[in-house]
Amino acid sequence: MDFNLSPQPADTTVYEGDAGGYYSWTGAKSPAIPQAKVAAGKLVLRPRGFALPHYADTFKIGYVAQGTCIVGLVFPNDPQEKVLIINKGDAIPVQMGAISWWFNGGDSDFTIIFLGESSQSYSPGQFDYFFLTGPIGVLATFSPEFITKIFHLKESETETLVHSQANPLLVKLDKGINMPNQSNCDTREYVFNLDDLISSGVNYAEITAENFPLLEKIGLSASLVRLESHSILNPYYNVNGSQIIYVLKGSGRVQIMGLNGTRVLDADVQEDQAFVVPKFFAATQLAGEHGMEFFCLSTSSRPIVGQLAGKESAWKALSSPVLQAALNVSQEFVAFFKSKINL
């Protein structure tokens, strides 16, 4: 089986205008994305940019790369609008079928990266969005006769309801519209700041069902990794899920080992590119001169990860005679090698 895991930037501009833009990764340039049943998208909102209310056929987690945004969520079977304020470093899970809207009330751009799984998506490797309003929204899809009867409207009122919004995805709001500007719920139940978990000497932060129970419902987990200049991430493999990784800052090099000892990827990677690490494939990343930071999603809420270097690796656990036989080296070299593992 051939694997094309080459890191790629978003290859499709879904929408772009004064309010911002939405960009996605597709199987045309990133075939590993639909193969692994994951998906990726990037939403950019300019000041006063508003993403119309919509829902999707996928579970996903958004990571705020820059700016501040006000988010509204309405969950199926719970018709109460939750309003949240999210900031740089926040990770926000979005459940399948949950209606959401996004508004940038600040003075600078807002960017959020969505990574998720697409096993139930109508379009493999994609987030399929269903809008409530606008020319491709639910209201415009049903016939005027149905809308009139559903909402008990006159024909002219139906025309106003259905056709007043001409923008399909994003719209720049006039200042006369006073959007919500405060949270109306406990944000900690719905948002987790990964930046808060990274401090001096710590380069890795992870959210799973263990420390963020909401992830149990969506079956995903996420992590933020910061590598200093020329530092390397110990090789690892995932037992119960694939990964999709988006580079937030910097650049570096990634190597991935596949079936039968084949190196399926050895490539440079840079900011704004994404790539997939399939389940069981071993991967490692080496940061470039200016370091590298990336956001990673796993398709399991409780990921099981095997370490292939470091104090928690199999090399540390295996007994010396086993290593001597497996490596076909002397006892002295095994002792030397084990001393390096502890570094």
Helix (H, G, I), strand (E, B) or coil at 94: strand
CATH architecture of 196-341: Sandwich (2.60)
Q: What is the pLDDT of residue 196?
A: 86
**What are the structure tokens assigned to 265, written together?**
């990827």
Contact 227, 291 (CB under 8 A): yes
Q: What is the location of CATH 2.60.120.10 in the chain? A: 8-189, 196-341
> 125 pLDDT exceeds 70?
yes
Q: For residues 141 and 228, what is the distance between their CA atoms, to the nearest angstrom?
A: 51
How far is it, in rounded angstroms, from Cα 10 to Cα 21?
12
282: nearest Cα among 310, 262, 252 = 262
Instruction: For 48-105, write each residue's pLDDT tens digit.
Output: 999 999 999 999 999 999 999 999 999 998 889 999 999 999 999 999 999 999 999 9
State the angle between helix axes of 155-163 and 144-151 in degrees (0 to 180), rounded to the nearest 10.
110
**Fold assignment, 8-189:** Jelly Rolls (2.60.120)
Q: How confident is the model over 133-183, as pLDDT tens digits?
A: 999 999 999 999 999 999 999 999 999 999 999 999 999 999 999 999 999
What is the tens place of the pLDDT at every residue in 223-248? 999 999 999 999 999 999 999 999 99
Cut 0.85: pTM above it: yes
pLDDT, mean over the chain: 95
